[in-house]
Chains A and B, each alone.
Chain A
Amino acid sequence: MTHLSTDVLIVGAGGAGMYAAIVAARSGASVLLLDKSLVGRGGATIMAQMTVAAAIAQQEPDHWTLHLADTIEAGRGMCNEELSAILCEEGPARILEMDEWGARWAREEGHIKQVKAPGHSRCRCCYVDFLNTGPAVAATLRRQVSNMDAIKRLSNIAVTDIVVDGGRTVGAVGLELVSGDVITFEAGAVILAAGGLTKLFRRNSASTNMGGEAYALALRAGAELVDMEFVQFFPIAHLAPRLVGMDPIMWDPFRYKLGGKLLNGNFEEFIHSYGGSDAGKYTTVRDQASYAILKEVEAGRGSPHGGVYLDFRHVPELELRQAVGPVIDRLLTNGIDLTKMPVEVGPMAHYHMGGVRVNSRMATRVPGLYAAGEAVGGANGANRLSGNAITEAFVFGKRAGRFAAEEALRTKSAWNAKYAAEEVEQARTLRQGHEGSDVTPVELQGELKDLMWENVGPFRTGEGLAKALVRIREMKHRDFADLSISREKYFNLDIQDWFELRAMLTTAEAVVMAALARNESRGAHQRLDFSGSDASLLKNQVLELENGRLTASWAPVVCSSVKVEPV
């Protein structure tokens, strides 16, 4: 069996993982950077098409404390203010560092151009033209990473378990996807940078690798999760006609810029009948739009694909061209002529505010285990401002890299193969194949995604959540044990799906438990049976595994004023 050893092991090579790798290597540590897809390509980072928020004050006067105030307001009282402050204060340095590394932020009159995205009080959002922010950021970090000898990159490796001994992180177990071989890793510190969980929901905007594995890995290792009920749903994501080659959340800026109209299946405007107006504050509008859309669909007034229409036909073609730019041609190749037809839109899972509970050093409560990027919970509270996620990936990536390296360099390896034996045995058993029920892991994943979408989506009820919880536990304890697994040696997707599904079920259970206990509506967590928020629930929920059982408890919100160590 293959065994590798390193100072810092990084699980997931998106924006956060790559940033962490660079900084850990600069701090003198040897680094193994792993990704189940290809390094720098598998996650949400490369898909981001919009903007990155940081108070670099090049467009207009700005200050990180203003960014912080906006972030906290959007977070509806739930932000871990210590983490939010780190995000806002260190964001500018990261954006400028990325510029030095050649990210090519769009410029205007010699300075980095910054626009005002909804919810931000200043023009502070940078981007790379045209809709190229994510690919540019990913390419820049990939270049940096590949220039450093201390970083060993490995693609096609799915980490399935973090190895802990005596309460301390000592390594991990991974599956090499091409050969199906099991690999063990010993490490002084491990950073979870495996991104978000949007794949848990049938309708989502993200990549196929976003099964929420970081959260399940953290729980299994003994770390805590926080705010798992707060999944961000994007109200007007693209549903139809089939649009390929474009991020489904692309409509938002155009709708705001051009006043796109939302129409129901009968081509009538409807937002006003839900007490909303199309003006007003973005965050309110966001929740209301989702609500109104889903209510129209429920009443049988949806569009053919279960959403509503977004219509720009009233906008003069010239104005449309100016605003949409070259995107209009990309739309045309998709058979979408905005001057002649509306498109269908509806809510989709997009980002996760909750995640692994860490301190300002990005350390979990398990010594040697760190988290970074979307995997971290708390900085964005109950609702995230647009542009904060990529900044978070950079800032938290840097901190995790620095502190994990420090920890690894002063830790003596305590590896023993027996600590990983159970997980290694599990992978070997799967390779024998299993003729269980007719159900395969990918089918059960499909059922889970439908269940989550229908009961744990943008609008929740106690009844729906309870039903989902029962079924998830049944899947976990009954169906999962008897899935059919093929014996293919190379690139066995059943085995890949099996490990992913194991994580998805754990993470889904955490989301549902947290959502069920929060008897109020706040930010992204909307309960139809508890409209409005309840001041007595202005606290975070913390989840952990106790003897294999998931438990939830309440903890006070972390307020700022704590002095944070600079990096």
Chain B
Amino acid sequence: MSKGAKQDTTALRVWRGCPDQQERYDTFHVPFEEGMSVLDALCWVRSHVDPSLAVRYSCINANACKTCMALVDGEVEYTCTARLKRPMVTVEPLPKRPVIRDLVTDTAPEEEKLQGAVREAP
């Protein structure tokens, strides 16, 4: 991290699970800098601690794609605009959507899913 930037840590408590696994919460200690988004912290975890943490996002900064929604401390939020807080932030998948894995829920419109298009191979 760059010089002069305020370096600290915070705890990120994340719901983990998927249809064929036991659910649990994992807590990660992540670097904290004023203004960081929850998504910044989730990406940090993926590239430094646990690449298997499933998260979904696309635009990262612009808050345009709207693919990154999750529950942050119990509220439905875009993880890319929700701010990381100290001493801890809890992130869980959206409540009313089927969970695919960890924080990834099924948000694709029905008509954009494979099931409707399937034809088995000859």
Q: Which residues of B contact A1 (CB under 8 A)?
A: 121
Residue A493 interfacial (CB < 8 Å): yes
Q: Which residues of B contact A566 (CB under 8 A)?
A: none
Q: Which residues of A contact B56 (CB under 8 A)?
A: 491
A491–B65 contact, CB under 8 A? no
Given A242-B35, A244-B81, A493-B51: A2 and B60 interface contact (C-beta under 8 Å): no
Residue A246 interfacial (CB < 8 Å): yes
A38–B67 contact, CB under 8 A? yes
A245–B63 contact, CB under 8 A? yes
A494 to B46, CA, bound (A): 10
Contact pick for A205, options B2, B57, B61, CB 8 Å:
B61
Interface centre among A152, A179, A242, A486 (most CB of B within 10 A): A242
Closest A residue to B57 by beta carbon equals A208
CB of A419, distance to nearest CB on chain B (Å): 13
Closest B residue to A306 by beta carbon equals B2
- Report the count of interface residues on A (CB-CB < 8 A): 62
CB of B61, distance to nearest CB on chain A (Å): 5
Q: Which residues of A contact B108 (CB under 8 A)?
A: 38, 155-156
Closest A residue to B116 by beta carbon equals A152
Q: List CB contacts (< 8 Å) of B98-117 with chain A.
A: 100-102, 104, 106-109, 111-114, 117
Given A246-B63, A442-B47: A488 and B18 interface contact (C-beta under 8 Å): yes
Q: List CB contacts (< 8 Å) of A33-50 with chain B.
A: 37-39, 41-43, 46-47, 49
Given A207-B58, A305-B5, A417-B121: A153 and B112 interface contact (C-beta under 8 Å): yes
Contact pick for B37, options A135, A207, A242, A491, CB 8 Å:
A242
Q: Which residues of B contact A47 (CB under 8 A)?
A: 59, 61-62, 64-65
Given A244-B81, A245-B80, A491-B101: A41 and B117 interface contact (C-beta under 8 Å): no
A2–B52 contact, CB under 8 A? no
Residue B88 interfacial (CB < 8 Å): no
A41–B58 contact, CB under 8 A? yes
Residue B89 interfacial (CB < 8 Å): no
Residue B87 interfacial (CB < 8 Å): no
Contact count A vs B, C-beta below 8 Å: 161
B106–A178 contact, CB under 8 A? yes
Given A246-B63, A335-B35: A3 and B57 interface contact (C-beta under 8 Å): no
CB of B44, distance to nearest CB on chain A (Å): 11
Closest A residue to B82 by beta carbon equals A244
Q: Which residues of B contact A493 (CB under 8 A)?
A: 46, 51-54
A305–B64 contact, CB under 8 A? no
The A interface, classified by DSSP as helix, strand, loop or mixed, is loop
Contact pick for B120, options A2, A32, A39, A306, CB 8 Å:
A2
Q: Which residues of B contact A242 (CB under 8 A)?
A: 33-37, 40
B63–A244 contact, CB under 8 A? yes
Q: Which residues of B contact A334 (CB under 8 A)?
A: 35
CB of A418, distance to nearest CB on chain B (Å): 12
Contact pick for B113, options A154, A305, A440, CB 8 Å:
A154
Q: Which residues of B contact A241 (CB under 8 A)?
A: 34-35
Q: Which residues of B contact A3 (CB under 8 A)?
A: 119-122
Q: Which residues of B contact A446 (CB under 8 A)?
A: 47
Given A2-B118, A4-B119, A488-B18: A440 and B51 interface contact (C-beta under 8 Å): yes
Residues of A at the B interface (CB closer than 8 Å) are 1-5, 32, 37-39, 41-43, 46-47, 49, 134-135, 138, 146, 152-157, 176, 178-179, 183-184, 205, 207-209, 240-248, 304-306, 334-335, 417, 440-443, 446, 486, 488-491, 493-494, 497
Residues of B at the A interface (CB closer than 8 Å) are 2-5, 18-20, 33-37, 40, 46-47, 51-54, 56-67, 80-81, 83, 100-102, 104, 106-109, 111-114, 117-122
What are 10 A-B residue pairs whose CB atoms fall within 8 Å in the complex? A2-B118, A134-B64, A135-B64, A155-B108, A156-B114, A208-B59, A209-B58, A244-B83, A490-B54, A491-B101
Q: A46-B62, A208-B60 are in contact. List 14 more A-B contacts (CB 8 A).
A: A4-B117, A42-B67, A153-B111, A154-B114, A208-B58, A245-B62, A245-B80, A304-B3, A441-B51, A442-B51, A446-B47, A486-B52, A490-B101, A491-B100
